[in-house]
Copies of this chain bind each other. A is one copy, B any other.
Amino acid sequence: PINADRLWDSLAEMAKIGATAKGGSCRLALSDEDKAGRDLFVSWCEAAGCTVSIDRVGNIFARRKGRDDSLPPVVMGSHLDTQPTGGRFDGVFGVLAALEVVRSLNDRGVETLHPVEVAVWTNEEGSRFSPPMMGSGVVTGVFTLEEILDQVAQDGARLGDELVRTGYAGEASVDHPMHAYLEAHIEQGPVLEVEGKEIGVVTGAQGQRWYEVTVTGVEAHAGPTPMRLRRDALVAASAMVLAVQRIGLETDGDPCTTVGILDVHPHSRNVIPGRVFFTVDLRHPDANTLADMDRRFRAAVAEIAEQQGVSAEIADFWHFPPTPFAKPLVDRVREAASGFGFSHRDIVSGAGHDAVYVAGKVPTAMIFIPCEDGISHNEVENISPADGARGAAVLFETLVATAGR
Bound-state Cα–Cα, A40 to B208, Å: 56
Residue positions of A touching B, CB distance < 8 A: 83-85, 125-127, 130, 132, 154, 187-191, 206, 208, 210, 218-229, 232, 234-235, 237-239, 241-242, 245, 248-249, 254-274, 279, 281, 283, 349-352, 374-379
Bound-state Cα–Cα, A262 to B218, Å: 17
Bound-state Cα–Cα, A190 to B221, Å: 11
Are A268 and B223 interface neighbours, CB within 8 A?
Answer: no
Are B262 and A126 interface neighbours, CB within 8 A?
Answer: no
What is the chain B residue whose CB lies nearest that of A282?
A: B222
What is the chain B residue whose CB lies nearest that of A239?
A: B242
Given contacts A234-B241, A234-B259, 12 further A-B contacts (CB under 8 A): A85-B265, A85-B266, A125-B268, A126-B270, A127-B270, A189-B223, A190-B224, A235-B259, A260-B268, A260-B272, A270-B377, A272-B377
Given contacts A127-B271, A223-B206, A241-B238, is CB(A229)–CB(B190) below 8 Å? yes
Give the oligomeric copy count.
Answer: 2
Are B268 and A221 interface neighbours, CB within 8 A?
Answer: no
User: Which one of B127, B224, B249 lies within 8 Å of A268 (CB-CB)?
Assistant: B127
Bound-state Cα–Cα, A279 to B224, Å: 18
Contacting residues, chain B, for A130 (C-beta < 8 A): 269
Are A219 and B378 interface neighbours, CB within 8 A?
Answer: yes
Contacting residues, chain B, for A232 (C-beta < 8 A): 245, 258
Contacting residues, chain B, for A218 (C-beta < 8 A): 375, 378
Contacting residues, chain B, for A270 (C-beta < 8 A): 83, 125-127, 132, 258, 260, 281, 351, 377
Bound-state Cα–Cα, A270 to B187, Å: 15
User: Which one of B83, B222, B265 lies within 8 Å of A281 (CB-CB)?
Assistant: B222
Given contacts A260-B222, A378-B274, is CB(A255)–CB(B269) below 8 Å? no
Q: Give the 3 A-B residue pairs with the shortest CB-CB distance, closest first.
A: A189-B224, A224-B350, A222-B258
Given contacts A83-B268, A84-B268, A245-B232, is CB(A376)–CB(B260) below 8 Å? no
What is the chain B residue whose CB lies nearest that of A279?
A: B269
Contacting residues, chain B, for A234 (C-beta < 8 A): 241, 259-260, 262
Are B266 and A223 interface neighbours, CB within 8 A?
Answer: no
Are A269 and B224 interface neighbours, CB within 8 A?
Answer: no
Contacting residues, chain B, for A222 (C-beta < 8 A): 256, 258, 260, 281, 283, 377
Subset of 24 A-B contacts with CB under 8 Å? A83-B271, A84-B271, A85-B219, A125-B270, A127-B271, A190-B229, A206-B223, A220-B375, A220-B377, A221-B351, A222-B281, A223-B351, A223-B352, A224-B256, A224-B350, A225-B256, A226-B256, A229-B374, A234-B241, A239-B242, A259-B273, A260-B268, A261-B268, A268-B377
Question: In the assembled complex, how far is the CB of residue A137 from the closest CB belonging to chain B, in whole angstroms?
Answer: 15
Contacting residues, chain B, for A125 (C-beta < 8 A): 268, 270
Are B271 and A377 interface neighbours, CB within 8 A?
Answer: yes
User: Which one of B188, B225, B245, B274 lies within 8 Å of A189 (CB-CB)?
Assistant: B225
Question: In the assembled complex, how far is the CB of residue A126 from the closest CB belonging to chain B, in whole angstroms?
Answer: 6
Contacting residues, chain B, for A283 (C-beta < 8 A): 222-223
Contacting residues, chain B, for A376 (C-beta < 8 A): 220-221, 224-225
User: Which one of B224, B248, B279 lies within 8 Å of A374 (CB-CB)?
Assistant: B224
User: Which one of B221, B235, B264, B272 lies within 8 Å of A242 (CB-CB)?
Assistant: B235
Are B257 and A261 interface neighbours, CB within 8 A?
Answer: no
Contacting residues, chain B, for A273 (C-beta < 8 A): 259-260
Are A242 and B238 interface neighbours, CB within 8 A?
Answer: yes
Given contacts A234-B262, A261-B267, A378-B218, is CB(A223)–CB(B245) below 8 Å? no
Are A267 and B84 interface neighbours, CB within 8 A?
Answer: yes
